[in-house]
Structure 1
Amino acid sequence: MNPSKKSIRYILHAFLAWSLAGLLAPVTFAANTIWLSTPTDGNWSTAANWDTGITPVAGDTLVFTNSAITSTTNDVIVAANINAITFAAGGDAFSIWGNGFILNGNVTNASANAQVINTDVTLNGDRTLIGGAGLTLAGQGTLLNSGGNRTLNNWLTNGSSLTINNITLSEAPATARTLTLQGEKGNTTITGIIANGSTASGTMTYAGGGAVTMNGAAASTYGGTLNVNNGSWLLDFVNLTPAVNLLGGTNPIALGGGTFGIIGKSTGATFQTNGVLTLQGNTGNGLTLTNNGGAGTTLRVASVTRNGGSSLQINTSAGDSVIAG
């Protein structure tokens, strides 16, 4: 049976009404959102603080330039993606507080000022930090390695440094993960602890051309290997009391063309114990101990495994010692 003209007209009207409703329905798209120079307050939830007049949503790229208010609070995006964060050229020094978020892209600091992100930050992929000034990531929180093995590329230049508070290597129970810190020029300071985050032992790898310095007030608890494939990994005991095992107490160390160093506390003796020290094949490596005016620095490793073509240069100051076994 052929439909009547009346039924065809009814169907057409219904379709047009449905289509129009879809067009008019409010839709929120991810966008570049710029923090204004004269915001009402420091809260991200205040729509009037942004150039779009809309509160940021998950997936947005946030841009910070010059502003009368530079201490800002993420009180709207909770454990959701931020596509990227840019601190624009010529911009002020900002600090970001509040809710933690998932970093779904890179952080760029094009300004001449150091920038501070104090929230928890989750890495759900390999990420790059770009710029010519310093950056603090998870300064009052934790950098979480999530969903797999991740690489954090530090491409801060001009002598700038990256500062990270705590690092957790895995969010998944019984799943070991590896976090690789990489970069040709920028140095990194870890002011907190490194933890497994699961019942499995995670791994830290450094493959940069600068130095990573751990100087926290508490001992790290992760149990896996520390790989130093380039540059230097330094344990600075300045804030740890007593000065014993800043890097756990059993972690194996594998040197693949890098240097492992200890800077002792300026008072009393400093002790660090680790698992097997492995020298990767065909690499030149270093161990450096500095007593820093204290009563001597001691590094004890369970044993040393030397692969073909590898070498180890040991530099110590008076009263320092390296013990195997």
Structure 2
Amino acid sequence: MEEQVQPSNARRRKRKKPKKKRAFKIILGIILVLILGVAGYAYSIWHSVEKTFTQTHEPLKRDVSEKRSNKVSLENGDPISILLLGVDQRAGDRGRSDSTILMTVNPKTQSMKMVSIPRDTRTEIVGKGTQDKINHAYAFGGVDMAVNTVEKFLDVPVDYYVQVNMESFKDIVDAVGGVTVNNNLAFNYDGYSFQKGPLKLDGKEALAFTRMRKQDPRGDFGRQQRQRQVIEGVIDEGASVQSLTNYGTILDAIGQNVKTNLTFDDMKQIQSNYKDARKNSEQLQINGKGEKINGIYYYAVSDDTRNQLSTELKESLNLK
């Protein structure tokens, strides 16, 4: 039986306080904080960072989105969109995208918007010509089909993607010496007991912490929040001086578990020209309702809701 994702009563928006970690760091922080952290070290270390991010580079089959007339210029500070895919990938199995988050970044208005798409959302799978759960797009056709499907669903271009293998994400957590999260829901999962309050998690515990959703009244939204907490924890630990002494292990873990069409030069441009956009971050949730078709549960989003969301994202990207 398919699990139910609890629909939100309304799209919720929340401005994050400046002192809190920003959504921008959630998406690119794993990569960018290491660039900043080792920038003052010897050339050999910098060379290792560059080599790692050359390893993570995996272009899309297309060069420019069909929803753009020209390729964006990071040097000029054009507004961009980035798709984050948290993939449950295991040996011999491509897996599915457990977490699908689209972020728009506009450095000119110094603003960002981030929308989490529930994994059970029913939509057209581009390239298959069928209606199915949006997280199946990755299972059917990898990152290219996932990107094209999200573009179709939201009617906005996806300029860049960052894919994180959640199954091996534990390697990254262990590489930085574990993470600290603030748990707001006590639960047991996969042999572990997670109590309310601050928790120090190792890699295996962090993976279990991010996978549970059946016991969470918020469904997918609650799990996505826990995933963001763990990634924020990685950033906190990865930015510490202690972690810099362990940079080799951290870089190995990133090289094996992260894929992106961003080049090393792209990352430097984003850090230089886009970092101030985090000062005005807004999270969006998609309003919908659960329904069953042929006994299978889906999260249904109305055309009006999609069009309203699309308009807001296009404004963020300076698109008509």
Q: TM-score range by the shorter chain?
A: under 0.3
Higher-Rg structure is 1
- Normalized per residue, the structure richer in helix is 2
